[in-house]
Amino acid sequence: MQRPRGWGISIQPQGTSDQAAGALLELLKPLCYHNWSIRPFAVDAPVTFAPSVYSAALLDELAVADEMARTPGNTWMLLNEPERPEQAAMTPLAGMTMTQDFLRVAWAEGREFQWAAPGVSVTTADYDGLEWLTEYVKLCRRRCGIQRPSYWHIHMNAPSGAAFRAAWQRFENWWITWGAGAPVIISEVCAQNAPLGEQASVMEQTDGLMITGLSLIHI
Which domains does the chain carry?
A: 9-212 (3.20.20.80)
Please compute the mean of the pLDDT values over residues 59-87 and round it to a whole number: 95
* Beta carbons of 21 and 34 less than 8 angstroms apart: no
Residues 120-175 pLDDT 10s: 999 998 999 999 999 999 999 999 999 999 999 999 999 999 999 999 999 999 99
Instruction: Print burial letters for 15-43: b (CB count within 10 Å at least 16), e (below 16).
Output: eeeeeebbebbeeeebebbbbbbbebbeb
